């Protein structure tokens, strides 16, 4: 497993070893001890989630106040542009975003620690995104940062307007959004 920091050092790109042969491939998608060794801290996942979306769907940017979630994200079908926005006021990268393409073909994963908003845009006909979370879903703490906020200025790879839920279309601006210490 190769782990490298993105432009925000706490957000990690994980590239598992993939063993191909005439039957297909095998990869180890998660190994607790290796992950924690690379991360430098203990992580306890409590929930796994699966999101199925069609082309041009943009989900996010989601986060939870009070019970923030760290997320380990992977795509098992299709391709997405995946993004994390640093909402930790004490961080030198506060207000910055980072991201990249995750796909079933590249097998890459993204570790997004607590204190970040997360979102993704579907590039393929359909995409299945799976993620492990360090905290249970907490509806009362759920928040949405506006996906197209000018201050954050994410460079989404859009060719047409995205398909949004009502909630995601009404996200808070960066200035109005609740943040972490």
Q: What is the mean pLDDT of residues 37-53?
A: 95
pLDDT class of 155 with cuts at 50, 70, 90: very high
* Per-domain residue ranges of the chain: 44-169
Instruction: Report yes or no: 112 and 71 within 8 Å, Cβ to Cβ.
Output: yes
Strand partners, 116: 86
Examine the pLDDT at 38 and tell me if it is beyond 90: no
Q: Provide the percentage of residues in the chain whose pLDDT is more than 70.
A: 100
Across 124-148, average pLDDT: 98
Q: Is the pLDDT score of 49 beyond 90?
A: yes
Question: Got the DSSP string for 111-126?
Answer: EE-TTEEEEEEE-SSE
Nearest partner of 13 among 123, 79, 112, judged by Cα: 112
62 is catalytic: yes
Local structure of 38: helix, strand or coil: helix
> What confidence tier does 159 reach under pLDDT thresholds 50, 70, 90?
confident
Provide φ and ψ at 21, rounded to 5°. Answer: -150, -170
Mean pLDDT of 103-120: 98
Interval 114-121 mean pLDDT:
98
34 or 164: which carries more pLDDT confidence?
Answer: 164
Quick one: average pLDDT of 56-82?
98
Tell me which fold the domain 44-169 belongs to.
Answer: Jelly Rolls (2.60.120)
Clarify whether 50 is annotated catalytic. no
pLDDT the model gives residue 118? 98
Catalytic member of 20, 22, 62, 121? 62
Tell me the whole-structure pTM to 2 decimals: 0.95
SS3 63: strand
For 146-173, what is the mean pLDDT? Answer: 97
Q: Stretch 44-68: mean pLDDT, rounded?
A: 97
- Of 25, 96, 131, 155, which one is the catalytic site residue? 131
Mean pLDDT of 73-91: 98
């Amino acid at each position: 497993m190769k782990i490298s920091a993105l432009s925000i050092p706490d957000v990690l790109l994980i590239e598992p070893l993939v063993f191909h042969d005439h039957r297909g491939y095998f990869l180890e998608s998660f190994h607790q001890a290796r992950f924690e060794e690379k991360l430098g801290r203990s992580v306890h996942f409590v929930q796994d989630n699966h999101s199925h979306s069609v082309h041009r769907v943009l989900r996010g940017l989601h986060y939870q106040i009070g019970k923030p979630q760290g997320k380990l994200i992977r795509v098992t079908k299709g391709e997405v542009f995946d993004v994390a926005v640093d909402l930790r006021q004490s961080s030198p990268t506060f207000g910055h975003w980072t991201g990249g393409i995750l796909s079933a073909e590249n097998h890459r994963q993204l570790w997004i620690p607590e204190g970040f908003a997360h979102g993704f845009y579907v590039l393929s006909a359909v995409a299945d995104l799976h993620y492990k979370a360090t905290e249970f879903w907490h509806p009362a703490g759920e928040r949405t940062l506006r996906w197209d906020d000018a201050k954050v200025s994410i460079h989404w790879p859009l060719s047409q307007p995205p398909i949004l839920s009502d909630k995601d279309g009404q996200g808070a601006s960066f200035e109005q959004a609740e943040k972490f210490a």
